[in-house]
Amino acid sequence: MTGEIVQFGTSRFLQAHADLMLSQARDAGQSVGPITVVETTGSPASRARVAAFAQAKSFPVHIRGLHNGQMRDERHEVSGIAGGLSARENAEALRDAVIKARYVLSNTGDSGYAVPERPMPTLDDWTGFPELLTALLRERFEATGAALTLLPCELISRNGDTLRAIVIELAREGQGSEAFVRWIEERCIFVNALVDRIVSEPLDPIGAVAEPYALWALEAQPGFEPPCTHEQMVVVPDLGPVERKKLFILNLSHTLLAQHWLDNGAPDGLTVREAMADQETRTWLDTIVTADILPTFPSGDDAPGYWAQCRDRFDNPFLNHRLADIASNHGAKIERRAKGFLDWVGVSNGRASCPHLRAAFGSAINAGME
C-alpha cells in the first residue's frame, strides 16, 4: 500500500477524515504515499487553504466528544501533505502529479459532479470537476497508461459508479479515442464509498475539530487495494447495508428529533444534545428506534451497536448541531428517510406496522401510502 495520492478538495472534512486516517496509518509504519492537495473552485477560502497546505509540514486535528461513553479530547498532528496546488494556476504541476499518482481522492461538495450543458473536458477549458478529471485522465493515458484507483468521498449514493459513468460519457463526447474509453473502463477503479464524521469547525489556516466517530466504508471490487488499513476504514462486499444503517438509524433519528421540535414549539436554537438531555424526549426517540427500526435489520448488521454509537454522537458536549438546521428540507427528508424506511421493510399500508414511527410523523408519513 504505497503510491502518491492526489486529493481534490481542501475541506475541513477531508482534513479530519481521510487525511487524518492516512496520517495515522503512516505513523503506525504503513507505507502510505504523500498527498498533494488541489483546489478547484478558485474561491478565496480554498486558495488560502491550499497556500497553507503548500507551506505546512503538518496541521492539527482535535478529536473531541464521547466514545463508548468515555470523554475524548485529543490533538493529532496530521502529516504527509506533499504540497498544495491550484487546478487553474498550477495546471502543469497538477498534470504531473496525476500522472505519477496511484490514488485520486475527492470531496468536491454537493454539486461537485455537475456538468455544464456544453462540457469542455480539457485542461484549458474545464468548468467543473468531472471535466477536469477527464482531461487529467487523458493526460495519464497518453503518458503512461498506468492503472489508477479513484476514491470519491462525495455524499452521493454509489459515488464511484456515478463519477465513472460521467467521466466515460465526457471521454466519448470529447472526441476521445475508443482506446482511451477502454482504458478508463478497464484500468481505472472507481470505488463506491460512504464517509461519515461530523467535523464541527475549522482551525485557521488549516486543521479542524471533529467528533471521535468516523467511518470510511469502501466497496470491494476486483483489483482494488485500499491506500491503508485503519480501524475506522472498512472494505465491504456490498455498501448497501452500511448506507441503510446510516440513513435509517442516524439520519432518520435526526429527522424524528426535528419533527418533535417542530411539533412542540421548542426554542429556535435547540441542539440535538440539548434535546437528548431531556429525558422525556430521549425515551420517546429510543422507543421508536428500538421498537420499530432496529428489529428490521439483520442480526449481522449489529444495528443495536450502531444505535449506541449514535447516542454517543448525539450527546457530544462539544457539538452544537441545531435542530433548525436539520429541519431544512424536512419534507424531502421524511420522503427519503421515513417513507424510504417503510418501503425497505416492505410495509405498504401506512397504519399497518411501525406504530411509534407513524405516530411521530402523523399525516406526513401516511400521505400517499393508502
Per CATH, domain 241-366 is 1.10.1040.10: yes
| CATH number, domain 5-237 | 3.40.50.720
Element (H, E) at 17: none
Contact 190, 161 (CB under 8 A): yes
- Choose among 268, 243, 229, 252: nearest CA to 337: 252
pLDDT recorded at residue 296: 94
358-365 long-range Cβ contacts below 8 angstroms, 24+ apart: 360/256, 360/259, 360/260, 360/284, 360/288, 361/256, 361/259, 361/334, 364/259, 364/331, 364/334, 364/338, 365/334, 365/338, 365/339
Reduce the DSSP state of residue 81 to 3 states and report it: strand
CB 369 within 8 A of CB 339: yes
Helix or strand or coil: residue 12?
helix
pLDDT for 348: 45
Helices (H), the chain: 12-16, 18-27, 44-55, 91-100, 129-143, 159-173, 178-187, 240-245, 252-264, 272-277, 279-288, 303-314, 323-326, 330-333, 340-345, 355-361, 363-366
Q: Report pLDDT for 370.
A: 44
Q: What is residue 349's predicted lDDT score, i.e. its pLDDT?
A: 42
The pLDDT assigned to 347 comes to 61
Residue 110's pLDDT is what? 66
Kindly report the length of the chain.
Answer: 370
Task: Report pLDDT for 2.
Answer: 57
What does the radius of gyration of the chain's CA atoms come to, in whole angstroms?
22
Residue 237 sits at the vertex; the CA angle it makes with 234 and 239, to the nearest 5 degrees, is 70
First and final CA of the chain: distance in angstroms? 53
- Which grid cell is 239? 455498501
pLDDT 10s per residue in the chain (370 long)?
A: 457 999 999 999 999 999 999 999 999 999 999 999 999 998 999 999 999 999 988 999 999 998 888 899 999 999 999 999 999 999 999 999 999 999 999 999 767 899 999 999 999 999 999 999 999 999 999 999 999 999 999 989 899 999 999 999 999 987 668 999 999 999 999 999 999 999 988 999 999 999 999 999 999 999 999 999 999 999 999 999 999 999 999 999 999 999 999 999 878 899 999 999 999 999 999 999 999 999 999 999 999 999 999 999 999 998 888 999 999 999 999 999 999 999 999 864 444 489 999 999 998 887 544 4
The domain ranges of the chain are: 5-237, 241-366
SS3 78: strand
Beta strands 215-219 and 193-196 are antiparallel
Instruction: Name beta bridge partners: 6.
Output: 36, 104
**C-alpha dihedral sign at 238, 241, 242, 243:** positive
Q: Which of 302, 178, 318, 307 shows the shortest CA–CA distance to 253?
A: 307
